[in-house]
A and B are shown apart, each in its own frame.
Chain A
Amino acid sequence: MTMPAERPDASDAQLKKGVLEMCVLNMIRAEPTYGYDVMKNIKLYFPEVNESTVYVILRRLHGDGGAEVTVKDGSGGPPRKYYKITEAGLRQLASHIASWRRVNEALEKMGINQDVSDI
């Protein structure tokens, strides 16, 4: 118990509310995507993110109407859930992207997005 609970994903907490949700919404925008593939893809771009975070985001999106779930029979296994963005989800995505742009512009103005190799 010397290690505080879930300390490794302190930065993950910052990401998961906004950026990760935006990425997940964008990923399920084009076509219904299987949950496992979403999780794996996010992990590819954000290796430090806790594995359960993406699953929780998917559940939340399904719960608040940002994503709809299509259940297809698995071959012999449990039925598989495919996630697809809804109208409400598209609005959420647009809002996320707008906020992210504002942050990005502010960072650009502050010179933070420039080359950092000499720091």
Chain B
Amino acid sequence: MTRRLFIKRLRFALRGGFSKNESRDVISDYEGFFDQGYSNGAGEDTVSAELGDPVSIALSIAREAGKAPPIGALLLKYQHVTSLLIGAALFGFALLLFYAGFWLTFWIDGLTLNIICLLMADAGLLIALRPRLTAPDAKRDTRGLIASNAVLLALSVFCCVFFSNKASIDLAVWFVDRYPDPFFLGIFINGVSQIRLLCVLTAAGIGLHAVIAAWRGKAERILTALHALGFCAYLEVVANMWRTLDIPENYYRFLALNTVVYVVGAALAALVLIRLVYKKEARANDNAR
């Protein structure tokens, strides 16, 4: 690790647990250690290896001072949960855009938009899984994950192609020609929307299953379950909104509000979860000692 990265991580790890003066004091000490290491002839990689892990430093200092673990250190320590949060937020946002695609279909090609959204959703999952995929002990999990992800992606693209907005409209035109009654048309459109919803849920389910199957840690399971619940509730709301709302301006307001609520809610859930897991692990370690 370079000196710059070490100090950057240390500064971040001390956040949310120490006053500015305390942080400055610790950082100044470690800057000094680097200088001393250089004057002893060591390179920055050697010195940073000697000084240890910035996250562990911040946690040790906080524990010694009887303080709660700094939020910055927890976020770095449980980086994969943070990544999962980003990935899940992207995934949720992509699902929302998927529905926006229905409205936008009158102006741009809905199929293209849907494919972009689902690729984005898949990218979200990959971001979430990245720390796990690159972990040294992840070889066994990696194959299953990649396979699950490939299935998810294939299914997503299949859903898009098969139930694209263009195809829906073609079918609707065909349907209107045969049954020009608005009541039947309403039932038809609703039916198509339910099938599409089912496809998206299946795709999301496979993706989430991949996460659950691959991640043995309890925190990820809980977080994934929370997100799965969130997605379901979210989709239900969107589906209802779709049926009752017919003014696009309101839809965009709804889209913005829901995105904010979802991301903030997920962030809070992750922080609470991280704190709980840390406390539990610390207690288990104390008992082990």
| Residues of A that sit less than 8 Å from B by CB | 1-2, 4-7, 10, 13-14, 34-37, 39-40, 43, 50-53, 55-56, 59-60, 74-75, 77-81
**B56 within 8 Å of A by Cβ?**
yes
Q: Is the interface of B mostly helix, strand, loop or mixed?
A: helix
Given A5-B278, A56-B60, residue A78 in contact with residue B28 (CB < 8 A): yes
What is the bound-complex CA distance between A40 and B40, given in angstroms? 11
Q: Smallest distance from the beta carbon of A106 to chain B beta carbons, Å?
A: 21
Number of B interface residues at 8 Å Cβ cutoff, please give it: 35
Which listed residue (A40, A52, A59, A80) contacts B32, Cβ 8 A? A80
CB-based contact B282/A5 at 8 Å: yes
CB-based contact A74/B216 at 8 Å: no
CB-based contact B220/A1 at 8 Å: yes
B23-40 contacts to A (CB < 8 Å) = 28-29, 31-33, 35-37
CB-based contact A1/B277 at 8 Å: yes
What is the bound-complex CA distance between A55 and B81, given in angstroms? 29
CB-based contact A1/B284 at 8 Å: no
What is the bound-complex CA distance between A1 and B218, given in angstroms? 8
Which partner residue on chain A sits nearest B274 by CB separation? A1
Which partner residue on chain A sits nearest B51 by CB separation? A51
What is the bound-complex CA distance between A37 and B56, given in angstroms? 20
Inter-chain contacts of A14 with B (CB < 8 A): 289
CB-based contact A36/B60 at 8 Å: no
CB-based contact A78/B35 at 8 Å: yes
CB-based contact A52/B29 at 8 Å: no
**B96 within 8 Å of A by Cβ?**
no
Inter-chain contacts of A53 with B (CB < 8 A): 60
Which listed residue (A2, A34, A40, A80) contacts B50, Cβ 8 A? A40
CB-based contact B217/A81 at 8 Å: no
What is the bound-complex CA distance between A52 and B13, given in angstroms? 13
CB-based contact B57/A39 at 8 Å: no
Told that A56-B60, A80-B36 touch, could you supply 12 new A-B pairs with CB distance under 8 A?
Answer: A1-B78, A1-B218, A1-B220, A1-B277, A2-B217, A5-B77, A6-B285, A13-B289, A36-B37, A39-B51, A55-B29, A77-B32
Name the 7 nearest CB pairs between A and B, nearest first.
A51-B52, A1-B217, A52-B57, A36-B36, A77-B35, A5-B281, A52-B60
Which listed residue (B35, B53, B64, B278) contacts A56, Cβ 8 A? B64
What is the bound-complex CA distance between A39 and B77, given in angstroms? 23
CB-based contact A56/B61 at 8 Å: yes
Which partner residue on chain A sits nearest B69 by CB separation? A5
CB-based contact B64/A39 at 8 Å: no
Most interface-central of A1, A14, A59 (chain B CB within 10 A): A1
B231-289 contacts to A (CB < 8 Å) = 277-278, 281-282, 284-285, 288-289
6 interchain pairs, CB-CB under 8 A: A1-B81, A7-B285, A34-B36, A39-B33, A51-B50, A52-B61
Inter-chain contacts of B28 with A (CB < 8 A): 78-79
